[in-house]
């Protein structure tokens, strides 16, 4: 299979990139290309113009201020995985990036590309939603930020409009007493797209769970927050969240009830529905342990 012909552009500024996106009728952004180029090769998409982001250094920056972590949309999965800042203070984001694809995919694929594919199985979405992340979108009209939980409209459909480029992911600092964990199940250990995934954020006031978020991936048209799981978790003793299997059973059932899985080549809907409780329970227990440990430091 060969790539179809396209014009390659390498703009030096964001404005230039957005102008090209506006002007060209059938253009697409090219970040790492691990989705775009594979889809073009398979004949699943065709673009006359590809606008590379590779010369835009500002999209690679990873930084932090007193409120937020900022991850440039062009940061690769390995840059996210290995960033000392992310590893030390936003551990679950580094861990999620380390579970993506292979070394080659992590060296090339970007966090922005992962989210902008809009695939319900993209691994960075559940964990970033659990952290309460927002994304910044830039166009010639200006900038806007969107909560990541609202960014996904349907499978492979996002809120990105023509002429817009995702510039960064903004992750608020975790409040004291909070912990996040991401769990994924693929059909093999390496280079496996998630059949199902779950992320959890647990906040404890020292004895009770004062806030919680469970997000499931690859089991609905978009990464999905389980409101039922939050209802089960809020107000429960944190020790119970770590040790009490009956509460964890309820959490798992709630997360499965909130999912809308489909059959595909990686698994049937029933298989996925069976995975959700296992992954949600693990994510909740481990996030709760992290939340409790964070109070000891």
Note whether 139 binds ligand FAD by CB under 6 A: no
- The 3-state secondary structure of 101-158 reads CCHHHHHHCEHHHHHHCCCCCCCHHHHHHHCCCEEEEEECCEEEEEEHHHHEEECCEE
Q: How many residues are recorded in the chain? A: 297
Q: Given candidates 148, 193, 218, 222, which one binds ligand FAD under the rule CB under 6 A? A: 193
Which single residue is written with the structure tokens 């659990």?
Answer: 130
- Strand pairing class (152-154; 142-147): unpaired
Contacts with ligand FAD, 198-237, as mask; x by CB under 6 A? ----------------------------------------
223 Cβ contact partners less than 8 Å away, ≥ 6 residues apart? 120, 122, 125, 126, 129, 152, 215, 216, 217
Cα–Cα distance for residue pair 193/82, rounded to 1 Å: 21
Determine, following the binding rule CB under 6 A, whether residue 38 of this chain makes contact with ligand FAD. Answer: yes
Identified binder of ligand FAD from the candidate list 14, 31, 174, 212, rule CB under 6 A: 31
Residues 6+ apart with CB under 8 A from 29: 17, 21, 36, 50, 51, 53, 116, 165
Q: In the numeric block, which tokens belong to residue 71?
A: 């991850």
Q: Which of 117, 139, 178, 259 binds ligand FAD (CB under 6 A)?
A: 117
Q: How far is the CB of 159 from ligand FAD (least distance, A)?
A: 11
Q: Tell me which residue of 272, 274, 291 sits closest to 233, measured CA to CA.
A: 291
For residue 176, report the phi and psi dihedrals to the nearest 5 degrees.
-55, 145
Q: Does 109 bind ligand FAD (CB under 6 A)?
A: yes
For the bound state, the minimum distance from the C-beta of residue 88 to ligand FAD, rounded and expressed in Å, comes to 23
Tell me the two tokens of residue 281: 């329970």
Asked if 122 touches ligand FAD (CB under 6 A), the answer is yes
The site for ligand FAD, by CB under 6 A, has a size of 31
Decide: is 135 part of the binding site for ligand FAD (CB under 6 A). Answer: no
**Residue 73 interacts with ligand FAD (CB under 6 A): yes or no:** yes
For the bound state, the minimum distance from the C-beta of residue 256 to ligand FAD, rounded and expressed in Å, comes to: 22
Part of the chain binding ligand FAD (CB under 6 A), chosen from 111-119, 139-147, 218-226, 232-240: 111-119
Secondary structure (3-state) at 55: coil
Please, what is the minimum distance in Å from the beta carbon of residue 140 to ligand FAD? 14
From the list 114-122, 233-241, 250-258, 282-290, the region that binds ligand FAD by CB under 6 A is 114-122
Q: Does 105 bind ligand FAD (CB under 6 A)?
A: yes
20, 36, 202, 242: which one binds ligand FAD (CB under 6 A): 36
Contact residues for ligand FAD, defined by CB under 6 A: 28-36, 38, 53, 73, 100-101, 105, 108-110, 112-114, 116-117, 122-123, 160, 165-166, 191-193
């Amino acid at each position: 299979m060969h790539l179809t012909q396209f014009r390659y552009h390498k703009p030096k500024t964001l404005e230039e990139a957005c102008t090209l996106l506006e002007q060209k009728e059938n253009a697409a952004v090219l970040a790492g290309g691990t989705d775009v180029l594979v889809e073009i090769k398979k004949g699943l998409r065709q673009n006359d113009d590809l606008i590379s982001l590779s010369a835009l250094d500002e999209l690679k920056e990873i930084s932090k201020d007193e409120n937020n972590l900022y991850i440039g949309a062009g940061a690769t999965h390995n840059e996210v995985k290995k960033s000392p800042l992310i590893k030390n203070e936003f551990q679950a984001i580094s861990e999620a990036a380390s579970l993506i694809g292979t070394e080659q995919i992590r060296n090339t694929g970007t966090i922005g590309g992962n989210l902008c594919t809009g695939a319900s199985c993209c691994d960075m979405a559940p964990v970033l939603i659990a952290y309460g992340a927002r994304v910044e979108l830039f166009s010639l009209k200006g900038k806007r930020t969107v909560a990541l939980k609202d960014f996904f409209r349907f499978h492979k459909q996002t809120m990105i409009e023509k002429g817009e480029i995702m510039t960064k992911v903004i992750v608020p600092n975790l409040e004291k007493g909070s912990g996040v964990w991401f769990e994924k199940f693929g059909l093999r250990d390496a280079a496996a797209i998630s059949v199902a995934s779950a992320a959890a954020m647990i906040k404890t006031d020292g004895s009770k769970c004062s806030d919680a978020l469970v997000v499931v991936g690859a089991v609905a048209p978009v990464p999905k927050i389980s409101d039922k799981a939050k209802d089960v978790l809020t107000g429960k003793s944190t020790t119970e969240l770590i040790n009490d299997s009956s509460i964890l059973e309820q959490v798992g059932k709630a997360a499965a009830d909130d999912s809308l899985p489909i059959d595909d080549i990686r698994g049937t809907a029933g298989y996925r529905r069976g995975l959700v409780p296992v992954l949600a329970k693990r994510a909740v227990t481990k996030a709760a342990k992290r939340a409790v440990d964070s109070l000891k430091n």
